[in-house]
Structure 1
Amino acid sequence: MTSIKKQSLLALLMLAVATAVAVGLYLRQPPAQIAHPEYKPVSVDVAVAVKESVQVEVQAQGTVGPLRESTLMAEVAGRIIEVSEHFLVGSFVAEGEVLLRIDPRDYQTDLLRAQSAVESAESTLAQERGRAEVALREWKKLPANSQRSPEARDLYLRKPQLELAEAQLLAAMADLNTARDRLERTIIKSPYSAVIRQKHSELGQFVGAGTKVAEVFSVDVAEVRLPIPQSRLNYLELPGIQGGGGSAVIDLYTDVSGEVKHWPATLHRTEGVYDERSRVLYAVARIEDPYALEHPEREPLRLGTFVNANIGGREFPGIVVLPRYVLRAGNLLWVVDENNILRNRKVTVLRTGGDRIFVSSGLNEGERISLTALDPSLSGARVEVNTSTPTDRLNQEGDALPSEATASNTGIAHKPTTAAVTP
């Protein structure tokens, strides 16, 4: 019992000491201070809206094709006795150059016979004219009151015989022209400056009338069919169906293994009807001297090449040019107002491609657009402007663009500001 009392007294003593220490600490604690949270504005870079005139470029793609393409056929039958040294697939041939000759001996014989027939008809006609003159003198010696029918009079004066001789001469001359033409057709020439695409005949081969000899295509002018969707037509000044007014300059280019090559072209015409399957209107561009025959310093553009095209279009005034990455879903931009408060702004943009957007409405001159990507929850928050750059200088210098592409790839030039529209 004594030990239990001792333990109880010790426990009470320890409890009392702990209570006294706790009371002492409570009485000596410092007074509580309320701390207010400190707000730091978000630091942003802004672009000051400057309205510009923007020339729109529509981007398209197509394959280079010839302006003219012909299948040469033999017009007479015979054996090929001679071919040109340029009568090879892929060779250039000049306009009027002889490609091959067909054996002309049978046609030379026919020509001689036709010439002989003409001479014989001329002789017959001369004889009939002489007889007609003699008959006319005899007719004048007959009594004036002789009763004869008009038919008998014409027969006496040999008019039917004279008309027959004249008709025979005309027929002989027609045969002569035909024989001469058939002889000329034994020589097959290039109808224009061309490249031989395919051969269907060779030296020593017998060909008949209508036999394919070769396929050629012209090299003085080439064309590219460029599909333009309906939604892009208002960006261009297209020529009419009959051509004319094709002043739009087109930059054709290829990008093979990082090597970009350019060729100038002009918009010549539109095909006038929409393609039923793709619902596009084809515009036709023309390239002068595609094989650089007259300009050897230029790079040749071979037919069949797949090319990209930047078509120069209309100018749109009052456009604000911004980096594409600042545009958010729903055509929304962050705009910093005069109190440095962040505001959501819905804008209208031209439907273009490339790394820039072209705002046509929704921004006023001098308004500040945030170039810093921000969380949507910050709408209405105060921000601190770090740097401020006019949009026209931003466009020229390419500041704040995350990945600036070359003008050849995006269709954006800086001479005036240009928008590239991709179908």
Structure 2
Amino acid sequence: MSSRARKLGLPLLILGLTAGLIVLMMVTRPRLVPMERPEHVWPVEAVSAHYADHQPMLELYGEIVAGRRSELRPQVAGEVVAIGPGLHEGASVQQGELLLKVDPFDYETALAEQRALLKEAEASLEKLQRDLARSERLYREKNISEQALDDARLAVVQQQALVEQRRIAVKRAERDLTDTQLRAPFAGVLANVNADVGKRITDFGNDLVAELIDTSELEVRFNLSNAQFGRLQASGEPLLGRPLTVRWDVGEEPLSYPARIARLGPEIDATTGGVTVFARIDSGGRQTELRPGAFVAVRLPDRVYPAAIEVPDTALYGEDRVYVVVGERLQARRVQVAGRAGESLYLRSVGEPAIAEGEPIVITQLSEAGPGARVVLR
């Protein structure tokens, strides 16, 4: 073999070995077998669709105010000589109970004087009436002139007017004497008490002794937003007289009281909007533990949503769509939001297919929710 042949054979051998190695690697290389990706299953919660008439409760807050409150001021001047046993801050008093007594001496003597003047005037009237009767007889007998008869009649009329004046003066003196005793005009609780024996009461009626609050005629004041007021007005039921419940959270056992809407506020608060409402608490005419200024919860029945489905607000996708579960798959349903109350929605099914009675409505918010998605109910 020539040297040239040897020189050419070695490279060809290397190329052949390389090619064979490449073929061997291609034959023996691992093959990638495509694998199917498992379908994702979303765990969800659902509620059964149930058509019914729903009337949710408006959860509001308000303040107790006095339905009847009276400022107690003595109507006569003088020195306070006695204080009633119930004249204390926060004390409960009964109607007619004595609270304070002003020195009655001057008023007793004034009454006695007016009664004496009345008796004197009545005696003079009797004499003038006898004189008139005699003058009428003499006039019929032509013994006195018509002028004398007229004078006698005028004297009687004038004396009758004086008697009436004296009677009025007696009544005024009797009232002043009665007013020396300040009594509770109705049953209630006293506040802002400011009186003591020896205090001088002026005759201007400016001396405030106490305030009397009737706790059997308390009211709750609360606000309705424009939307809430509009819904209640649109319900067709009158707002005045509508029942509600007032709850006062004190201690472990909250106290509840029935009430009814009595009136609306005269003005709209420009800062907060809405309507101020006053509801009269039904205490059955009894004094209650409630006091003005108490912060209370108010539960007022909202309007009725007929033939609606109640669901949590998490069931709604967008503005008009929910998903129901049919054979482990999601299907979209169009709805109309009839109303809201807290975290609840009241829906009506619109379009086809409609939500069927008992159909499970998904209440879990899914980021990839859509028709055909596979789910499992939890």
Task: Quickly name the TM-score band, shorter chain normalised.
Answer: 0.7 to 0.9
Contact persistence 1:239–1:268 (CA under 8 A): no
1:358 to 346, 360, 372: 346
Structure 1 pair 45–98 and aligned structure 2 pair: CA distance change class (3 A)? closer
Contact persistence 2:64–2:218 (CA under 8 A): yes
Number of paired residues? 365
Alignment match, 1:199 = 193
Structure 1 pair 225–102 and aligned structure 2 pair: CA distance change class (3 A)? same
2:213 to 202, 213, 217: 217
Matched, 1:280 2:253: no
Matched, 1:307 2:302: no
Structure 1 pair 11–197 and aligned structure 2 pair: CA distance change class (3 A)? farther
One-letter code of the match for 1:375?
A: S
2:316 to 327, 333, 338: 327
> 1 CA distance for matches of 2:249 and 2:202?
47
Deviation at 1:55, TM superposition (A): 1.1
Deviation at 1:309, TM superposition (A): 0.4
Gaps of 5+ in 1: 1-5, 295-299, 388-423
> 1 CA distance for matches of 2:292 and 2:323?
49
Alignment match, 2:337 = 348
Deviation at 1:337, TM superposition (A): 5.4
> 2 CA distance for matches of 1:244 and 1:310?
14
SS for the counterpart of 2:340 is: coil
Structure 1 pair 270–338 and aligned structure 2 pair: CA distance change class (3 A)? farther
Contact persistence 1:270–1:281 (CA under 8 A): no
> 2 CA distance for matches of 1:42 and 1:198?
66
Alignment match, 2:154 = 160
One-letter code of the match for 1:270?
A: R
> 1 CA distance for matches of 2:124 and 2:285?
59
2:361 to 353, 369, 377: 369
Q: Which moved more, 1:113-122 or 1:226-235?
A: 226-235
Alignment match, 1:402 = none
Contact persistence 1:74–1:207 (CA under 8 A): yes
> 2 CA distance for matches of 1:52 and 1:188?
60
One-letter code of the match for 1:202?
A: D
Structure 1 pair 11–77 and aligned structure 2 pair: CA distance change class (3 A)? farther
Alignment match, 2:125 = 125
Contact persistence 1:238–1:269 (CA under 8 A): no
Deviation at 1:20, TM superposition (A): 2.3
Contact persistence 2:323–2:361 (CA under 8 A): yes
Deviation at 1:235, TM superposition (A): 3.8
SS for the counterpart of 1:86 is: coil
Alignment match, 1:261 = 254
Alignment match, 1:249 = 243
Contact persistence 1:335–1:345 (CA under 8 A): no
One-letter code of the match for 2:344?
A: R
Structure 1 pair 383–127 and aligned structure 2 pair: CA distance change class (3 A)? same
Deviation at 1:152, TM superposition (A): 4.5
Alignment match, 2:103 = 103
> 1 CA distance for matches of 2:131 and 2:317?
105
One-letter code of the match for 2:361?
A: I
Contact persistence 1:344–1:379 (CA under 8 A): no
5 Å-filtered alignment, 1:181-196, equals 181-196=175-190
Q: Deviations over 1:189-223 (max 9, x none)?
A: 11111111112322111101212222121121110
Matched, 1:386 2:352: no
5 Å-filtered alignment, 1:287-298, equals 287-289=281-283, 293=287
Deviation at 1:94, TM superposition (A): 0.6
> 2 CA distance for matches of 1:68 and 1:9?
125
Alignment match, 1:395 = none
Contact persistence 1:291–1:301 (CA under 8 A): no
Contact persistence 2:321–2:332 (CA under 8 A): no
> 2 CA distance for matches of 1:239 and 1:326?
26
> 1 CA distance for matches of 2:377 and 2:334?
21
> 1 CA distance for matches of 2:347 and 2:56?
13
Deviation at 1:343, TM superposition (A): 2.8
Q: Which moved more, 1:88-97 or 1:46-55?
A: 46-55
Structure 1 pair 88–291 and aligned structure 2 pair: CA distance change class (3 A)? farther
Structure 1 pair 116–23 and aligned structure 2 pair: CA distance change class (3 A)? same
> 2 CA distance for matches of 1:265 and 1:15?
104
Alignment match, 2:134 = 134
Deviation at 1:16, TM superposition (A): 4.9
Alignment match, 1:413 = none
Q: Deviations over 1:334-369 (max 9, x none)?
A: 33457934437454141321x432224546333442
Contact persistence 2:246–2:297 (CA under 8 A): yes
Contact persistence 2:89–2:192 (CA under 8 A): yes
Deviation at 1:252, TM superposition (A): 1.6
Percent identity between the two aligned chains: 21
SS for the counterpart of 1:212 is: coil
Contact persistence 2:136–2:149 (CA under 8 A): no
Structure 1 pair 52–64 and aligned structure 2 pair: CA distance change class (3 A)? same
Gaps of 5+ in 2: 1-5
Structure 1 pair 228–371 and aligned structure 2 pair: CA distance change class (3 A)? closer
> 2 CA distance for matches of 1:124 and 1:291?
53
> 1 CA distance for matches of 2:163 and 2:86?
43
One-letter code of the match for 2:222?
A: L
